[in-house]
Amino acid sequence: MKIDFDLDNARKADDADPLAGFRERFFIPKRTNDADVTYLCGNSLGLQPKTVGTLIREELDLWAEMAVKAHFHSSRPWVSYQELLAPALAHLVGCNPNEVVAMNTLTVNLHLMMASFYRPSRERWKILIEDPAFPSDRYAVESQIRLHGFDPDEALIEIKPRPGESTIRMEDLERQIASDGSMIALILMPGINYYTGQRFDIEQIVRLGREAGCVVGFDLAHAVGNVPMSLHDWNADFAVWCSYKYLNGGPGAIAGCFVHDRHGQRTDLPRLAGWWGNKQSTRFAMDRRFDPSSGAEGWQVSNAPILSLAPVLASLRIFEEVGLTALRVKSERLTSYFTQLVSERLGNRVDILTPTQPEQRGCQLSLRVRGTRAEQQRAFDALQARDVICDWREPDVIRAAPVPLYNRYEDIYEFVAVVEQALTLEK
Rounded CA separation 236/190 (Å): 12
- Looking at residue 424, its pLDDT comes to 87
Beta bridge partners, 128, equal 157, 187
List Cα–Cα distances, 47 to 4, 30, 137, 164, 243, in angstroms. 30, 12, 25, 35, 12
Q: Are 110 and 255 in contact (CB under 8 A)?
A: no
Confidence of residue 3 (pLDDT cuts 50, 70, 90): confident
Q: What is the mean pLDDT of residues 138-144?
A: 98
Nearest to 102 by CA among 314, 361, 288, 266: 314
Please, which pLDDT band fits residue 261 given cuts at 50, 70 and 90? very high
Q: What class does CATH assign to 7-36+323-426? A: alpha beta
Q: How far apart are CA 319 and CA 88, in angstroms?
A: 8
Residue 426 has a pLDDT of 58
Question: Is the per-residue pLDDT at 127 higher than 70?
Answer: yes
CB proximity list for 285: less than 8 A, separation 6 or greater? none
CATH no. of 55-320: 3.40.640.10
**Overall pTM surpassing 0.85 (yes/no):** yes
- Residue 388 is predicted with a pLDDT of 98
Backbone angles phi, psi at 350, to 5 degrees: -130, 130
- Dump pLDDT digits (tens) for 393-408: 999 999 999 999 999 9
- Please give the pLDDT value at position 137: 98
What is the distance between the alpha carbons of residues 159 and 130, in angstroms, rounded to a whole number?
5
Alpha-helix runs per DSSP H in 74-134: 86-93, 106-117
Q: Cis before residue 161, ω within 30 degrees of 0?
A: no
The conformational region for residue 252 under phi > 0 = left, psi -120 to 50 = alpha, else beta, is left
Question: What pLDDT, in 10s, does the model give residues 169-217?
Answer: 999 999 999 999 999 999 999 999 999 999 999 999 999 999 999 999 9
Q: Measured between alpha carbons, how far is 361 from 265 in angstroms, rounded to an integer? A: 34
CA–CA dist 173, 129 (Å, integer): 10
Helix or strand holding residue 100 (H, E) = strand 100-102
Return the pLDDT at 267.
84
Residue 128: in which H helix or E strand, if any? strand 126-130
Average pLDDT, the chain: 96
Report d(CA 260, CA 280) in Å as an integer: 20
> For the chain, what is the total number of helices (H) and then of strands (E)?
16, 13
Rounded Cα distance, 348 and 353, in Å: 14
Task: For residue range 24-34, list pLDDT tens digits in order.
Answer: 999 999 999 99
Which DSSP helix (H) or strand (E) runs through 281? Answer: helix 280-283
Burial class of residue 153, CB neighbours in 10 A (0-12, 13-18, 19+): exposed
Sign (positive/negative) of CA torsion 305, 311, 314, 317?
negative
Taking the C-alpha atoms of residue 189 and residue 218, their distance in angstroms, rounded to an integer, is 5
CA-based nearest residue to 186, from 140, 220, 229: 140
What digits encode the pLDDT tens for the residues 286-343? Answer: 989 999 999 999 999 999 999 999 999 999 999 999 999 999 999 999 999 999 999 9
Distance from the Cα of residue 73 to its chain's centroid: 34
pLDDT tens digits, one per residue of 246-256: 999 999 999 99
Does 384 score more than 70 pLDDT?
yes
For the chain, helix, strand, coil in percent to 5 are: 45, 15, 40
Sorted by where each begins, the domain ranges of the chain are 7-36+323-426, 55-320
Across residues 83-104, what is the average pLDDT? 98
Minimum mean pLDDT range among 47-61, 221-235, 323-337, 364-378: 364-378
Region 107-120 average pLDDT? 98
The region that residue 286 occupies, defined by phi over 0 for left and psi between -120 and 50 for alpha, beta otherwise, is left
**What are the backbone angles phi and psi of residue 142, rounded to the nearest 5°?**
-60, -40
For residue 154, pLDDT over 70 is answered with yes
pLDDT number for residue 427: 53
- Specify the DSSP class assigned to residue 52: H
Q: What is the pLDDT of residue 92?
A: 98
